[in-house]
Amino acid sequence: MGHEEAEVKEEARSVAEGVERLERALSQWDGRAAAERANYRSMVMMAAHAESPDMARGAFGSIEDAMSGTDFGKLREAVTAALGYLTRVAEKSIEEATANPVIIANLIGIVPAAANSIIEMLLVLLESVELPPEILASALFNTVTALDAEKLGKVLSVMSEQVESLHAGNLILGGDGPRLRAVSTEFAKRVLDNLDIDAAAGALVALGEDVEALSGSLVELAARDPRAVRAIARASSSVAGSMTRAVSAALDEAAAWPDELLVELARIDREHSDAAEAGRAVDSLVTLALRYREANPDANREMLTDLLRAVNTERLELVLKGAAADLGQAALANPGVRIALEPEEVGRRISGMLADFNRAAERGRFAEYLSRMAGAIDPEELGAAVRNGTLGMADAVFSSAGLVRSILRTAAAGAWKLASGVFRLIFER
């Protein structure tokens, strides 16, 4: 027991000495001397650059010798071997650490402390650099102005050329098709062969449910705070307005493009767009929808039934009526719409449509179209449809005596008005 007590005392003395040395080292750190050394090195570098701006060229010969004398093949093999050793060491370290749950718990416990330290430092940094808006904006604008835009443009140009070269090489190596397709297919196949699809799908479902729970809690908390609701609404409206103004400005500029540019754009579209592929995509989508319906005849009906059952039709009707009324008032508030709805303007438009119809009919195409359409209609089915429609209408009408009387009164009043109008036209002449 005495031996254990001695070991404990020795360990405590050792810890105390370590703490004392650390405190002494921190207290003896001379910040003024460090600042003087930094200033001295800065002045030396400034003086050297002023005297010889091309001083770095003195190292060019050594760099050339190093590059020409280094066997990069051996360097590659050496680095590969070293990385292999590091990988084995890391694997063993991870195996030993994960074998003990206490080690894992302690390592994970470091994460919150490190994150809190970073957050605290970031908070102090942001609070310390609070500047007046004009000074902050000026500093940012000066930084952007000081960037070498010409060199940045050249970098982007060279990167673009490299991408084009890569694409050209892809086509050259591929022969009949892009080489990237075969490489990516083989790579994806090897990945999928070693991927647990069920686990991956389950992970996606779990992430989706977690995101749903998180977003639901955030929405619920925000909805309880009127200030948060107002702030979110104000931000959303401002962002939408900014995007709308940006799109409007871009379209205004595009609307002023000269005809030559529009012709060139149309030529580019015809050369590089593939309308046939778009049509095939639509056809494939339609085919898929038909096959899905044939394979699951009740699926669409059940989903639509569930969808409509969840909708309050009375409130939907009120919303649609209100939207229609608002749309009508907004349309009538537009001078162009009001002019277009004037009786004289509507009459002129109808006259124009009638003239177009008559010109088409005079060429015989309309008569031919109607003749071919009538020839394809089954007369028996047409007769049955007319009979069913008229008889059904008659049965519905005569099932209500009040409805019959109303129809007869309206018909009689209309006939009398028509007859009186005809007689007036005849005798006034």
Q: What is the DSSP string of 329-346?
A: HHHHTSHHHHHHTSHHHH
Q: With bands split at pLDDT 50, 70 and 90, how would you rate the model's confidence at 258?
A: very high
Report whether pLDDT(119) > 70.
Answer: yes
Within 13 A of 1's CA, how many CA atoms are on the CB side?
A: 0
Helix (H) or strand (E) holding 377: none
Q: Is the dihedral of CA 63, 69, 73, 75 positive or negative?
A: negative
Q: Stretch 112-139: mean pLDDT, rounded?
A: 88
Lowest mean pLDDT segment, chosen from 201-205, 274-278, 388-392: 388-392
User: In the chain, what is the straight-line distance between the N-terminal and C-terminal CA atoms, in Å?
Assistant: 140
Within 13 A of 38's CA, how many CA atoms are on the CB side?
A: 6
CA distance 385 to 391: 10
Report the amino acid identity of residue 246.
A
Which pLDDT score is estimated for 150? 92
Residue recorded with tokens 């005392």: 9
CA-closest candidate to residue 255, choices 273, 247, 334, 267: 247
Lowest mean pLDDT segment, chosen from 10-19, 146-155, 169-178, 386-395: 10-19
Q: What is the largest CA-CA distance in the chain?
A: 142
Q: Counting beta carbons within 10 angstroms of the beta carbon of residue 27, is it exposed (0 to 12), middle (13 to 18) or buried (19 or more)?
A: exposed
Q: What is the pLDDT of residues 139-189, one digit of tens each?
A: 889 999 998 999 999 999 999 999 999 988 988 888 777 888 889 999 999
Q: Stretch 33-47: mean pLDDT, rounded?
A: 91
Q: What is the pLDDT of residues 47-70, one digit of tens each?
A: 988 888 888 888 888 999 999 999
Which pLDDT score is estimated for 2? 62
Q: Stretch 388-400: mean pLDDT, rounded?
A: 78
Report whether pLDDT(405) > 70.
Answer: yes
Which pLDDT score is estimated for 76? 94
Q: What is the DSSP string of 194-258?
A: TS-HHHHHHHHHHHHHHHHHHHHHHHHHHHT-HHHHHHHHHHHHHHHHHHHHHHHHHHHHHHT--
Q: Stretch 8-31: mean pLDDT, rounded?
A: 77
* CB 103 within 8 Å of CB 97: yes
* CB 398 within 8 Å of CB 404: yes
* CB 104 within 8 Å of CB 97: yes
CA distances from 110 to 62, 93, 96, 100 (A): 46, 18, 18, 16
Between 427 and 105, where is the model more confident? 105
* CB 197 within 8 Å of CB 191: no
Q: Stretch 95-105: mean pLDDT, rounded?
A: 87
The pair of structure tokens assigned to 269 is: 């579209």
Which pLDDT score is estimated for 34? 87
The pair of structure tokens assigned to 258 is: 């000269």
CA-closest candidate to residue 366, choices 350, 354, 377, 381: 354
Which pLDDT score is estimated for 399? 75
Report the predicted TM-score, pTM, of the whole model to 2 decimal places: 0.69
Between 362 and 355, where is the model more confident? 355
When mean pLDDT is compared over 26-40, 319-333, 356-370, the highest value belongs to 319-333
CA-closest candidate to residue 31, choices 39, 23, 19: 39
Q: Stretch 287-304: mean pLDDT, rounded?
A: 91
Q: Considering the chain, what is the average pLDDT of its residues?
A: 88
